[in-house]
C-alpha cells in the first residue's frame, strides 16, 4: 500500500486554481465542465441550424456545415486511406470541432470577466486535464482500430522490423499522447497569457493583431491534433 501512495499523490497534482464540485467521493473541475457544456451547446446549435431544413443547393449555415463535413472527410481519407476512412469521420470530426470551438471560445469570449468563488473560466483546452483526456481518447481509438482489424497480431508491430526495437516502439506509444496533450495545452495557455498581459498593459491597439493571430493559431492547433489523430489511426490499420 505504501508503494501506491506516490501514485495517488501524482494523480492529485493539478495546474492552476479550480472550482471544485464534490460528486460522491470525487472532485470535479467545475469551471472546465461549465465551459465544455457551452462549447457543446454551440456545436449542437450550429448542427441543428445547418440540418433542420436541408436543401439541394446548400446555403447559409447548411453550406458551412457541409463544407466542414467535406473537409473532415478529406482529412480522414488522406490520413487513414480509402478503405477505412468513413468509419472514422465522426470521431475525427468530433475531435476537430470540439478543439476548434474550444480554442476560439478562449480567444473570443471574455471568460475572465465572469467571477467564480475560486478559479476562473477559460477555454476547455486551456486545462491540462482536457487535453490529456483528448490525447488518451485518441490512443484508445488507434489501439481499437488496430486490434479490430488485425486482432492480437497487431502487437507484432512492436518487434518490427527488428525485435531489439521493442522498447523504442513501446515508448513511442507513451510519447504520442504526451506530445498531443502538451502541445495543445501549451499553445493555448501561452496564447491566452500573452493576450491577457498585453490587454492589461496596452488595452487598445496592440492586442488586436495578436488576438487575430491567436484565432489563426487556434484553428491550426485543432487541425494539427485531428491530423495527427488520423495519422495514428491510419498507422495502426496499415502494415509496418
| DSSP string across 26-92 | EEEEHHHHHHHHHHHHHHHHHHHHHHTT--SS--THHHHHHHHHHHHHHHHHHHH-TTTHHHHHHHH
* Residue-wise pLDDT tens digits, 72-84: 999 999 999 888 8
Is residue 147 scored above 80 in pLDDT? yes
Is residue 186 scored above 70 in pLDDT? yes
* pTM for the whole structure: 0.83
**Mean pLDDT, rounded, of the chain:** 81
Amino acid at each position: 500500500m505504501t508503494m501506491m501512495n506516490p501514485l495517488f499523490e501524482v494523480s492529485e497534482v493539478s495546474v492552476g486554481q479550480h472550482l471544485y464540485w464534490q460528486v460522491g467521493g470525487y472532485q470535479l473541475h467545475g469551471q472546465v465542465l461549465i465551459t465544455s457544456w457551452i462549447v457543446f451547446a454551440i456545436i449542437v446549435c450550429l448542427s441543428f441550424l445547418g440540418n433542420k431544413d436541408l436543401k439541394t443547393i446548400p446555403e447559409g449555415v447548411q453550406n458551412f456545415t457541409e463544407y466542414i463535413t467535406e473537409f473532415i472527410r478529406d482529412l480522414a481519407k488522406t490520413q487513414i486511406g480509402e478503405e477505412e476512412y468513413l468509419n472514422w469521420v465522426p470521431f475525427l470530426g468530433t475531435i476537430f470541432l470540439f478543439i476548434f470551438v474550444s480554442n476560439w471560445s478562449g480567444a473570443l469570449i471574455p471568460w475572465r470577466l465572469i467571477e467564480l468563488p475560486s478559479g476562473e473560466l477559460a477555454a476547455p483546452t486551456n486545462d491540462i486535464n482536457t487535453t490529456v483526456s483528448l490525447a488518451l481518447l485518441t490512443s484508445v481509438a488507434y489501439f481499437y482500430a488496430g486490434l479490430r482489424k488485425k486482432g492480437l497480431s497487431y502487437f507484432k508491430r512492436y518487434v518490427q522490423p527488428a525485435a531489439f526495437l521493442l522498447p523504442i516502439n513501446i515508448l513511442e506509444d507513451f510519447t504520442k499522447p504526451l506530445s498531443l496533450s502538451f502541445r495543445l495545452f501549451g499553445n493555448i495557455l501561452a496564447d491566452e497569457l500573452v493576450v491577457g498581459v498585453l490587454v492589461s498593459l496596452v488595452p487598445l491597439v496592440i492586442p488586436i493583431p495578436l488576438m487575430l493571430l491567436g484565432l489563426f493559431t487556434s484553428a491550426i492547433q485543432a487541425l494539427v491534433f485531428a491530423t495527427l489523430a488520423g495519422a495514428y489511426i491510419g498507422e495502426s490499420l496499415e502494415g509496418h
